[in-house]
Amino acid sequence: MVQQKTTTRNSNYKRKPHQNYQKKQTTNARPNYQKKRTTGPRPKTAAGTRPKRTARPPKAKENTLRIMALGGLEEVGRNMMLLEYNKDIVIIDMGLQFPEENMPGIDYIIPDVSYLEDKKDRIRGVIITHGHFDHIGAISHLIPKLGYPTIYTAKLTAALVKKRHEEYKNAQALKIQTIDPDSDMIKLGVFNIEFFRVNHSIPDSFGVVLGTPVGTVIHTGDFKIDLSPINDKPADLAKIALFGSRGVLALLSDSTDAPNKGNQLSESEITDNIETIFQESKGRIIVGTFASLINRVQQLLTLAEKYDRKVLLEGRSMNSNVEIAKQLGYLKFNPKTIIEEKEFRRLPDNKVMVVGTGAQGEQNAVLQRIANKDHKFLQIKRGDSLVFSSSVIPGNERTIQALKDVFYRQGAKVYHYQIMDIHSGGHAKQEDLKLLISLIKPKYLIPIEANHFMLRIHGEVGESVGIPKENIFVADNGQVMEFSRGQNQREITGRLTNEKIPTEYVFVDGLGVGDVQGIVIRDRQMMAEDGMFVVIAQIKRKTGELIGSPDIISRGFIYMKESRKLIEESRQLTRKICDHKGKKYDGDAMEVKNKLRKEIGNLLYKKTQRRPMILPVVLEV
């Protein structure tokens, strides 16, 4: 961690510590002194009153590298990292996060870029490490807000980004420059940038090496170490070791699989297990996976050709990604292997395979529609083999288990990674993480891209291979990490500050982006848990007198036909409230609504011990 003397700018500090300390605090909010400043009384004016303080954001220090995440340090997804040095900013990844179970109705979540909106002219470029949605899914939403900076990425990722951006009809074209991870170098402001190939579950994945004025920073992207990958080149360990030999200030490393010991399975190791399914299956094989798992799709197509099965691709994103990967040469198969619905219906069950989306239980994905019998022609038959070819994203466990139960009930034999090695994760386990740290030999380790407990475990792995605990920064989203030179201009030190930039959830719900706030989610949760109770009362505009009988509507709270007594009690209470207000009605319908909401809510809780959302509707006529 930084010692105070390395951050002191005033040469008179030692001679007049108290005087300079007070002066500094009025101009710079410095986390190192935050605690000291708040433990004592504030200075007072001659009149005995405390001086007014205006809230202002901390000013970025000059000649200091600032690293911060707009997402990805408290969840799996929403990955977006910023590196800022003086007037230059580089962004790495712009991903989305899939909603959690307590976010009803939300399509996905994207990063909050409010910190960058007045810094558009400082953004020198956006680097995208690979083509998964948790790294590219927010681009079309955020790039317009940031002034359309140039995107630098590999060929396959560029094609996937362009294809997704076509869905946003009103957005202007993206500026994309493709790079070769094996050889290209670029300069973005003060940042000199190189790349190195890594293995993941999609081709063209790479890590980023950023040369900065204070030292080299390496960002791994999502990675695993696979010496015999399918349809991809092995990770370039020699190049990684070369960067390490030159000296690395900080390593920002993928933590998604840090809790798991050992080495990640190679894609080639699981081919035999997947082949076993082909050998055992007498009926149709139906595989659910991510549309972006291009390497897995290649394995399935290769085995389908070996066992003389034709393949039906189901899902718009699956068809789109396979078409793009085929055109660019990342997928190799006989075009006659892929069939359409008409031929699929004609062929016998033991001659076909379906590859579709929905292995995470996503609503409206192929597997979910098959399970619900909503698919236009696919339903489970006894003898079908159902394959979940992906691991479970944290938070989706219950949804996927429910889906498995349905398929078992419908007569399918279900295969998943917990009973058979049919999925090789795309993220490094502990032994792979140790190897990478040993090759790079960073001064500071910054675990990224995972939930907090995963970051902590990754930090412990770093300690086990010699990284000092004080040099391991387990940060939160938005928390600023600073790296700068000391007084002698030789030693470079870093610290995890208390400063935070905004990183609120930005919800995407249909066509709405950011218009659904936390209070809306809370209302949805309340309606999902206890339902809603609507009271409709018509009153005379001038007198407040109740007209007719109040109407009651209940959804998700009680079954009205079997709760007539409670409904009538609610009506009587509504009449009483309206009659009481009518005697001294002052034309304020809102007061009547508030009274109904409070009194009806108390009645329902007394009778049922539940608190539905009360929606009073008062119509003045």
Tell me how far apart the alpha carbons of residues 268 and 277 are, in angstroms, rounded to a whole number.
16
Of the options 3.20.20.370, 3.20.20.450, 3.60.15.10, 1.10.8.50, the CATH number for the domain spanning 65-262+425-513:
3.60.15.10
3-state secondary structure 380-425: CCCCCEEEECCCCCCCCHHHHHHHHHHHHHCCCEEECCCCCCCCCC
- Asked if 125 contacts 188 with a C-beta cutoff of 8 angstroms, the reply is yes
For the chain (621 residues), the mean pLDDT of every run of 10, in chain order, is 39 39 38 40 42 50 92 93 97 90 74 95 97 94 95 96 88 93 95 94 93 97 86 85 96 95 80 85 88 86 93 90 92 92 92 84 78 86 84 66 84 73 77 96 96 96 96 97 84 94 84 57 64 84 79 79 83 82 61 86 86 84 72
Tell me how far apart the alpha carbons of residues 597 and 466 are, in angstroms, rounded to a whole number.
61
- Asked if 286 contacts 354 with a C-beta cutoff of 8 angstroms, the reply is yes
**The dihedral formed by the CA atoms of 35, 36, 41 and 45, expressed in degrees to the nearest 10:** -110
Tell me how crowded residue 103 is: count the other CB atoms within 10 A of its CB: 20
Which pLDDT score is estimated for 529? 67
Which pLDDT score is estimated for 611? 81
DSSP conformation letters of 115-151: TTTT-GGGEEEEE-----HHHHTTHHHHGGGGT-PPE
- Asked if 230 contacts 295 with a C-beta cutoff of 8 angstroms, the reply is yes
Tell me how crowded residue 101 is: count the other CB atoms within 10 A of its CB: 10
Q: Which residue has the tokens 């009680």?
A: 558
Pairing of strands 613-620, 532-539: parallel
Summarize pLDDT for 269-292 with one digit per residue, the tens: 777 788 888 988 889 999 888 888
Question: Check: CATH 3.40.50.10710 for 267-415?
Answer: yes
Pairing of strands 88-92, 80-85: antiparallel
Which pLDDT score is estimated for 527? 63
Tell me how far apart the alpha carbons of residues 218 and 209 are, in angstroms, rounded to a whole number.
5
φ, ψ for residue 444, nearest 5 deg: -125, 140
- Provide the residue ranges of all domains of the chain, joining segments of one domain with +: 65-262+425-513, 267-415, 531-620
Of 287, 267, 265, 269, the closest CA to residue 278 belongs to 287
DSSP conformation letters of 339-350: --HHHHHHS-GG
Considering the domain 531-620 in this protein, what is its CATH number?
Answer: 3.10.20.580
- Asked if 514 contacts 506 with a C-beta cutoff of 8 angstroms, the reply is yes
- Strand pairing partners for 449? none
Which pLDDT score is estimated for 181? 92
Tell me how crowded residue 181 is: count the other CB atoms within 10 A of its CB: 22
Residues 6+ apart with CB under 8 A from 223: 198, 199, 200, 205, 207, 235, 254, 427, 428, 436
Tell me how far apart the alpha carbons of residues 445 and 455 are, in angstroms, rounded to a whole number.
11
Which pLDDT score is estimated for 124? 97
Residues 6+ apart with CB under 8 A from 361: 367, 368, 396, 399, 400, 402, 403
Map residue 97 onto helix, strand or coil. Answer: strand
pTM: 0.74
Measured CA angle at 176 (ends 171, 182), to 5 deg: 155
Pairing of strands 151-153, 108-110: unpaired
Tell me how far apart the alpha carbons of residues 75 and 111 are, in angstroms, rounded to a whole number.
12
Instruction: Tell me the C-alpha to C-alpha distance, in Å, between residue 535 and each of 183, 562, 571.
Output: 68, 18, 8
Which pLDDT score is estimated for 60? 61
Counting Cβ atoms within 10 Å, is residue 178 exposed (0-12), middle (13-18) or buried (19+)? middle
- Edge-to-edge strand list for the sheet holding 108-110: 108-110, 506-509, 512-513
Which pLDDT score is estimated for 46? 42
Same fold, 65-262+425-513 and 531-620: no
DSSP 8-class letter at 376: S
Measured CA angle at 363 (ends 359, 366), to 5 deg: 55
Residues 6+ apart with CB under 8 A from 59: 28
